[in-house]
Chain A
Amino acid sequence: MKRSPTGDREFGLLCLIAQPEPDLARIRERLDEGIDAARLVQLAELHGLRPRLARCWSALSWAGAGTGERSGLELFQRHHAMRALAMSRELLEVASSFAESGIAFATFKGPALAVALYGDLAGREYNDIDIIVPQLQFAQAEAQLEAMGYRNSQGSREFCRAFLGGQGQYAFTRPDGTGAAVDLHWAFSGTHVTFPLRPAEAWGDGDIQRLSIGEGRQVPAIGGANLALLLAGHGTKEAWRFLKWVCDLGLMIERHRELDWPGIHRRAVARGCGDAVLLGCSMAKALLELAVPDGLAGPLQASARVRSLTGLLIGRMLETPRRAFADNFADLILCDSRLDRIRGAVDLAVTPSAGDYLAMPLPAPLWPIYYGTRPFRLAAKALMGALTRR
């Protein structure tokens, strides 16, 4: 995989911008040294950090920015603001509808995280609303979204149950062109891997914030230690591909050092994914120069796996293009133990997915055939991938 040499300089600047309290003097120094402004904007778009880049660059009077970069970011900010407000409106409507129907729920990421960590609905980039409900109420929540005009964008209920049931979430969109999208979860990860946060903790015995979205309107959102676990778990599940997830966790660490971080780590260890917390802290330290939370420096230093993964994942951030096939199994790094990772891989290898249907569409009564064809399809895909990389 080719690593862009100029991308490192711009990527380094982006890391400064992603710090919880960006040092404008340092950023200005880097800008004055000369950067590829178009490349910086491109990286910010890839890593979901355009709001932060725009804010920092504006505070520095757009030093080093070409007319195109400045106008492009300013236009993005307007569109992003309007979209963020529109999604917030959707969130309030869905929350109201669920509350009236007696559906337990909590929101996370999206507008909730923007308000909780960035202090502004447009403080971070997001494209949808994430809501988790108890699995027993999922069908009721699904029906409520459909009554509001949402449709499952991934297929019929039968299709989703057959091919997506192990993912823990379905995606719903409005077909009215508004772009409104809700990811409705009953779990935080697929069934083949563990996750630092149990679904029941989202609204039961954990930290629920009543988050203000607008004036006098509050929605239940995951907060406190649960939010730290969620951010570490989500980032690790996604192999920390994008800097914005490191930025999210970095803000959580910096704004909430009073949390019992060793206790957070212990909770994740009990779930078989303690390394996810250490890895998130390690990524934030390496990329954002953030001090590791008290009590975690020792466990982090002691984990060769975490230190090795940090280097590997940062290297992959700079790769172009990304390795698609490896990404399919990326979430296995959530598992601390090799045995759990092997079990997860086997589970993935034998459980039919939407990809099997797309490769060879069959009528529903014949779907069990995919249990037999899937291992061969994946093996062929792996072989093609290996040959392509040569």
Chain B
Amino acid sequence: MAPASPSGLFKRSARQVSCRIDDEFAILDLGRAMYFGVQGVGVQIWDALEQPRTLAELCALITAEFDVSASDCEADVVAFLAGLQEEGLIEVAEDA
């Protein structure tokens, strides 16, 4: 899987539906009928992905909300996005 490109546009895939449960998101993969849960900072990221976002935009949202260094934030966000992408829950559109 290709690493997250700084200029790539991430968005939720058409293969899923999701809903909010208090401070979590539940996601259903429509094809595999598998459920996923998103908690913690992942909630902010998934919520933000309601619109297509670049990595930089996502990191800016997180660093504005949490006390975390830019480098640590980017590493964590990249890892989280990689996990979502591996499960087919998000897609990377053409470079923004």
Contact = CB atoms under 8 A, between A and B. Distances in A.
- Label chain A's interface by main secondary structure: helix
A85 B22 contact: no
Contact of A214 (B11, B14, B21): B14
A311 B44 CA distance: 45
Interface string B7-20: 00001111011111
B28 A78 contact: no
Interface string B39-62: 000000000000000000000000
A109 to B, nearest CB: 17
A123 B22 CA distance: 11
B26 interface: yes
A85 B21 contact: no
A77 interface: yes
- Label chain B's interface by main secondary structure: strand
Interface string A123-136: 10000000000000
Most chain B beta carbons < 10 A, residue from A54, A88, A123, A215 = A215
A121 B19 contact: yes
A84 interface: yes
B12 A215 contact: yes
Contact of B26 (A85, A213, A215): A85
A255 B48 CA distance: 24
Given A89-B28, A215-B12, A120 B35 contact: no
Contacts of A88: 17, 28
A180 B80 CA distance: 32
A82 interface: yes
Contacts of B18: 85, 121, 214
A122 B20 contact: yes
Contact of B19 (A85, A215, A217): A85
Contacts of A74: 22
Most chain A beta carbons < 10 A, residue from B17, B20, B23 = B17
Which 5 interchain pairs have the tightest Cβ spacing?
A85-B28, A214-B17, A122-B19, A121-B19, A81-B26
13 contacts: A58-B22, A74-B22, A82-B35, A86-B28, A88-B28, A89-B28, A92-B30, A120-B19, A121-B18, A122-B20, A214-B16, A214-B18, A215-B13
Interface of B: 11-14, 16-23, 26-28, 30, 33, 35
Given A88-B28, A215-B16, 18 more contacts: A58-B23, A77-B22, A78-B21, A82-B35, A85-B18, A85-B19, A88-B17, A92-B30, A120-B19, A121-B18, A122-B20, A122-B26, A123-B19, A213-B17, A214-B16, A214-B17, A217-B14, A217-B17
